[in-house]
Chain A
Amino acid sequence: MLQIRYVWEWPVRLTHWFNVISIIVLSVTGYYIGNPSLSVPQTESFVMGWMRVVHYGFAYLFTVSVIVRVLWMFCGNKHASWRAFLPWASREGWGHIIGTFTYYTFLRKKPPYVVGHNALAAMAYSLVFVLFAVQVVSGFALYGQYDPNGLWASLTAPFLSVFGNQALRLTHHMIMWLVIGFAIHHVYSAWLMDVKEKNGTLSSIFGGYKFIDPKDL
């Protein structure tokens, strides 16, 4: 019999969608900041100005959302836990990594049956959280330069002196593309698993519920 299980608690879902929305807005405004190609006839306009205001506003939202999700890794259920992001740390996890990989590469008939993240997805998420952290640090390092005596400048000073201004800028720019690459793969995989596992993966990130048959576990 299928059971309905509450897998993704509300902070997981809420931060997921805050992240998605901010990443979309940050990528659109960030791309413009990096390559401003609209034609603006009036000097009184404020196109770049607004792009930057919106970028910084969503940057704060994104940062808070990522921090909340990281804190929830220590308070939430086992699927939200930080352990769920490190499948390579356990024997069972390794089994799932190999199982999922061989399924994706058409070498194995069925994917391993799991309730939370599949092992490869979990690995991708841990990498994505690292990218988020780099994006936040490099972003605030660039942002802080408007006031070299301010809070952000003093917090990010070590990164600026080690990596340098332009290297951080290039990193910030390139990570946008890596995150876009991840999002393409991620949405595809979510769809694939939704079809093949038939356990409601896609809707689970909206409602939190998955449909699990305990005898298959």
Chain B
Amino acid sequence: MAHEEKQMQDGVIPEEILQRWETRGVSRRDFMKFCSVMTATLALPVTMMGKIAEAVEGDNRPPVIWMEFQGCTGDSEAFLRANQPTATELILDYLSIDYHETIMAAAGHQAEAAKRQTMEKYKGKYIAIVEGAIPAAEDGVYCTVAGNSALNIAREVCGNAAATIAVGSCASFGGVPAAAPNPTGAISVSEAVPGATVMNLPGCPLNATNLTAAIVHFLTFGRLPATDSLGRPKFAYGKRIHDNCERRAHFDAGQYAEAFGDAGHRQGWCLYKLGCKGPETFHNCPTVRYNEGTSWPVQSGHGCIGCSEPQFWDTMSPFYKRLPNVPGFGVEATADKIGLGIAAATAVAFGAHGVASALRKGDDMESDQVSKED
């Protein structure tokens, strides 16, 4: 035992744990990779790897209730495609996801009964995951599940959970359903359930690695990771995309793609002038990436649209322009065209005033004290 503890402090994963995972069909290589990706994503010292391996191994896995409201199931999709060594297996088997409308086998009353059972049996201990915004207009009639409104369900399920994780931008900030004019009065989970401990994992979709890492953190330390003022875990949202972007050298140099498919674009130049919102978006996309760490929007040649920022649909658009439109002017009028107009109008007006004033007689002061020179 003492030996095992020593090993864990060094960040070595004990042999027994690796063997147990092998018998479950996860190779030791994959499991070690999983633990190291989690350690790195959470920005923990390598020495924590052993502790993480032990935590996901332990039998204290909390039950999970995953609710889907006004969303597109993109976050579930992203999660099911999670790569880190078959995190699907790992998480699906070793978290007990007791309720998830898209993937559970049960349906109808059976499903509802399973949910109720988990809530009663593990009151204050289970993790609630919410995907999608919650429509609050007209008592929440715009989204109902099993005859109950999303608003009621969220209040009940999140209110009794150990912790709530809002996955995706809709659950975190209202997202696309809450975009102007927000006909259903969509709100975020933290607005819908003000008292609950909610951690936001915005993104459209969220990055499954971040969700897995947050859960691993919960399993390892018994609490969710530290969050910022918007309720986002700092490990994933503590840096700006622009400050970690692989095209940053081109930004600093002054090399920009001007149009999709032009010479600059083909050479991988910075997408700033194509409206990239990397300079205003906080997310770890450039380091964690999506789909087996394969790529992320900027790497694939498309500017960031700021999908993980609050109200991104309204504030980050137009997506292909750097600045928003000036309110009250048409879409063709850029800030610079309007500004140039202001400057030109001032110059013309005062120029005309100057001509008139130069011709004007009799308005001089102190004329009596002026003497002409030869």
Residues of A within 8 A of B (CB): 2, 31, 34-36, 38, 40, 42-49, 103-104, 106, 109-111, 113, 145-146, 148-149, 157, 161, 164-167, 169-170, 173-174, 176-178, 180-181, 184-185, 188-189, 191-192, 195-199, 213, 216
A189 shortest CB reach to chain B, Å: 8
**Which residue of chain A is the closest to B317 with respect to CB atoms?**
A166
Name B346's contact: one of A104, A111, A181 (CB within 8 Å).
A181
- In the complex, are the beta carbons of A184 and B347 less than 8 A apart? yes
B residues within 8 A CB of A42?
253
Interface centre among A42, A44, A166, A188 (most CB of B within 10 A): A166
B362 shortest CB reach to chain A, Å: 6
Cα–Cα distance between A35 and B322 once the two chains are bound (Å): 9
Residues of B within 8 A of A (CB): 228-229, 238-240, 243, 249-256, 272-273, 279-280, 282, 309-311, 315-316, 322-324, 326, 335-336, 338-340, 342-343, 345-347, 350-351, 353-354, 356-357, 360, 362-367, 369-370
B304 shortest CB reach to chain A, Å: 13
Name B254's contact: one of A40, A104, A110, A198 (CB within 8 Å).
A40
Known: A42-B253, A185-B346. A2 touches B339 (CB 8 A): no
B residues within 8 A CB of A188?
350-351, 353-354
Name B323's contact: one of A40, A104, A166 (CB within 8 Å).
A166
B residues within 8 A CB of A148?
228, 238-240, 282
25 pairs, A vs B, C-beta closer than 8 Å:
A34-B336, A36-B256, A38-B254, A40-B253, A46-B252, A46-B254, A48-B252, A49-B252, A106-B360, A148-B238, A148-B240, A164-B311, A165-B280, A165-B309, A169-B323, A170-B324, A173-B339, A177-B340, A181-B345, A184-B346, A188-B350, A188-B353, A196-B365, A198-B365, A198-B366
- In the complex, are the beta carbons of B342 and A177 less than 8 A apart? yes
- In the complex, are the beta carbons of A46 and B347 less than 8 A apart? no
- In the complex, are the beta carbons of A35 and B363 less than 8 A apart? no
Cα–Cα distance between A109 and B253 once the two chains are bound (Å): 57
- In the complex, are the beta carbons of A48 and B253 less than 8 A apart? yes
A residues within 8 A CB of B345?
181
B residues within 8 A CB of A185?
346, 350
B residues within 8 A CB of A191?
354
Interface centre among B315, B323, B362 (most CB of A within 10 A): B323
- In the complex, are the beta carbons of A34 and B253 less than 8 A apart? no
B320 shortest CB reach to chain A, Å: 14
Cα–Cα distance between A49 and B249 once the two chains are bound (Å): 9
